[in-house]
Chain A
Amino acid sequence: MRGAVASDPGTSILYSSLLMKIILLPFSLAFLLLTSLAAQQPQVPSSADDVRARYTKYEFRVPMRDGVKLFTSIYVPKDISQKYPFLITRTPYSVGPYGIDRYRTALGPSEHFQKEGFIFVYQDARGRYMSEGEFQQVRPFVPDKKSNKDIDESTDTFDTIEWLLKNVSNNNGRAGMVGVSQPGFHVAASIINSHPALKAASPQAPTADYFMGDDVYHNGAFMLGANFGFYSGFVPRGDAPQPPQQALQFDPGTPDMYDFFLRIPPLARANAVLFGGKATYWQEIVDHTVYDDFWKQRSLWRYMDDVKCAVLNVGGWYDAEDPMGPLHIYRSVEKKNPAAVNQLVMGPWSHGGWGRGPGNRLGNVGFAMNTGEFFREQIQFPFFMKHLKDKGPDLPEAWMFLTGIDEFRKLPAWPPKDLSPKAMYLDAAGHLSTTQPKDAAAFDEYVSDPNKPVPYIGYIGEGMTSDYMTEDQRFASQRTDVLTYRTEPLDKDMIVAGPIKVNLRVSSTGTDSDFVVKVIDVYPNDYPTPAATPGQPVAANAVKMGGYQQLVRGEPFRAKFRNSFEKPEPLKPGEPVTISFELPDVYHAFRTGHRVMVQVQSSWFPLVDRNPQKFMEIPQAAPADFQKATQRIYRSSSITLMLEGTR
């Protein structure tokens, strides 16, 4: 029978057609059902559609004083019943999407701005993407300008504002600026000798000094983990303007970055070997290993003169990339422009963490409130409304989040003026003592092996995680190449504000070494661990918060820079030297029952590149150069905390 059917073409087609209808029937019904349901639902516009509904996009090539034209996207409110201020962001990371018919999915630093109505201006920095000219990373400020050829980010912003005021209608004659990280640098650079129409600027996590504590070097130590991946993709574009190309970003091919970075070529050769010679910005940063003119010209905080606009400096206590930038800029503006409205906000955030999400925790540590939402609603938006639209209240000098107690506090100055210093000494038997040890010549020692460096996190992870600055340090306490000192449990809260001074007396059998100092908050052993998700089993390796050792602040110091960052000097093997430096500001409460802990170690890998423990140009170091060294930390070593009175 089957054979007969199959042999009859007409019957076969009939059967096939019937079979297809039977198969397709459920799909057809489902399709009809879904389309009818969809017709009943209100259409939810995409974010880009929402922007398009309220704003009209324009693109211009804005001429600068030297004739170079910068690509600028402008979103103008369709509602012309009122005049609007400009809100400008200048960036080396692209203002895409490009094309007047292609809209961004959101405008401004938070949704409040888009709803309120501003003229949003996005500009590709000189030499990046669709802008003409030549890009320089953190372009040096030109203090003594002699002609129109002497340009910098300040002049480019000045010329942009001048052009906007003349060519974009319905503006209220005021401009604001906002940007995070390198765009934050562009903001900070723009407030120097600023245009009179620039009324409000918020440099957020600005790069203020690549060598002195921001992205690239910390006390002479190279921040490997943060820079390797970034610079493998952040490369010069071609000579002519062009939209973003496919990123070059190097694929390490493994999640184990500790192992990967142990095996990479010498840093000075990485560009040629791994990045095809195209990562010239990487080459620049590894070729300049001392605080030379290359870096000094880029130390923006030196030049913060003639600041006429209101400034809202924003940073994160746990910003692993630019922890010092906001503090550097704030202090410099404060010092050079005492009459300026210059405000500071520091919260419990990673790099740019205030701009996204609720901000109620970082890593294993919770903050008891939605700090990111609070910042966006109660600080950032009111600041711009006040200075660009004359609406809203004045803000305090400093809005500082007190970690440990977990609340924002309004302060009249930063650091607070009524602090009292408290020195703590690295005493015998791992004790952190408030009295100076009698035997200052006594010491603790450890062997530092750069071929088995101390990891910066206790698990397999990236070269730099965004939350390592709150990470548990118990894994490090267990190592023989980490010295650990701690107090007894505190009998009352201890609030530390401002920078932490470090005074180390050390010796090494090598001719150079790193000394990493970490200040840690040790939780009581009965500190509760948050409950697991209902219905989910607790993983055996889940972090237990009892006895948690929370990193509060840590910094490396490369010993050859102990006397000068310009002229490094070798250590004499075995000869004690003093190393003094500061850990960046904190505002942290060590609570009753907690302990203060200090750890000292000689590597922090791969966050920081390895020191071969031999005096040399470290980016050139070959495997044979890396040698063990015995490090001694003398009992006269101390840290000094600045304490605030308990409230």
Chain B
Amino acid sequence: MYTFVLCWLLISVLVGYTGILRSTPVPMPVFALAMTLTLLGWLTVRRDLRDRVLSVGVRVLVALHITRFVGFYFLALYRDGLLPRDFAVPAGWGDIIVAVGAIVILAAFRPETPRGRVAYLVWNVLGLIDILMVLGNGARMMRADRLLQAGFTSLPLILLPLFLVPVVIVTHVMIFVWWVRDGNRVEVGRNAGRCRE
């Protein structure tokens, strides 16, 4: 799995370096969505892969979202005139809030406790809504704005649609999978206890 992720990252870097997507008319979020759906489809049909991803533990999956402090980079790019306000400010602050939320729930809650499960679920829903809104807003704006699109077709920003955004969405989905699966296990455990009584 780690080899796959590394290869995927390297290919994304290569695509950015060669500039082969520089003149694509397709908004870059569409590539992010296509990559995400491919990964999710793969995880759906391959239970072993799903298990391997979940085996790293839900706290690791949440910890990956600390990378969403990349939102500060969006704000810096806006300040420097490299990203438009309408995209950079909501996307930047949204990601920063989700990253802070990730740190808070990792520090304050244990995922196996009932309160922790609620906290993880709430954070996960908000985090997923945020990234989907960024994706939708980006697709809408990039279709009309060649300057915004151009920024995301070359390094380093191209790594967001080609790599980071799919990772973020897939991990959100896998955290849902954990939530459902772990909940079932708790229920099974409780029922089993009652049977023994």
Contacts and interface: CB of A to CB of B under 8 A. Distances in A.
A622 interface: yes
A265 interface: yes
Nearest to A277: B154
B: contact size bracket: 10 to 19
Interface residues on A, range: 20 to 34
A265 B146 contact: no
Interface in A167-202: none
B142 to A, nearest CB: 10
A357 interface: no
Given A250-B150, A251-B23, A622 B80 contact: yes
B23 A263 contact: no
A513 B84 CA distance: 25
Contacts of A273: 82, 150-151, 154
A253 B81 contact: no
Contacts of B189: none
Interface in B122-171: 144-147, 149-151, 154
A265 B81 CA distance: 5
Contact residues of A: prevailing secondary structure: loop
A274 B82 CA distance: 10
A276 interface: yes
A252 B144 CA distance: 10
Interface in B175-189: none
Nearest to B23: A251
A573 interface: no
Contacts of A624: 79
Interface in B82-105: 82, 84
A277 B19 CA distance: 10
B77 to A, nearest CB: 9
Given A251-B23, A253-B145, A274 B80 contact: no
A441 interface: no
B22 interface: yes
Contacts of A264: 147
A278 interface: yes
Q: Nearest 5 pairs between A and B by C-beta? A: A253-B146, A276-B19, A623-B81, A265-B82, A622-B81
29 contacts: A250-B146, A250-B150, A251-B23, A251-B146, A252-B147, A253-B146, A254-B146, A260-B147, A263-B145, A263-B147, A265-B81, A265-B82, A265-B147, A265-B151, A266-B81, A269-B82, A273-B154, A274-B147, A274-B150, A276-B22, A277-B154, A278-B19, A621-B81, A622-B79, A622-B80, A622-B81, A623-B79, A623-B81, A624-B79
Given A252-B146, A265-B80, A266-B80, 15 more contacts: A248-B22, A251-B23, A253-B144, A253-B149, A263-B147, A265-B81, A265-B82, A266-B82, A269-B80, A273-B154, A274-B150, A276-B19, A276-B22, A622-B81, A623-B81
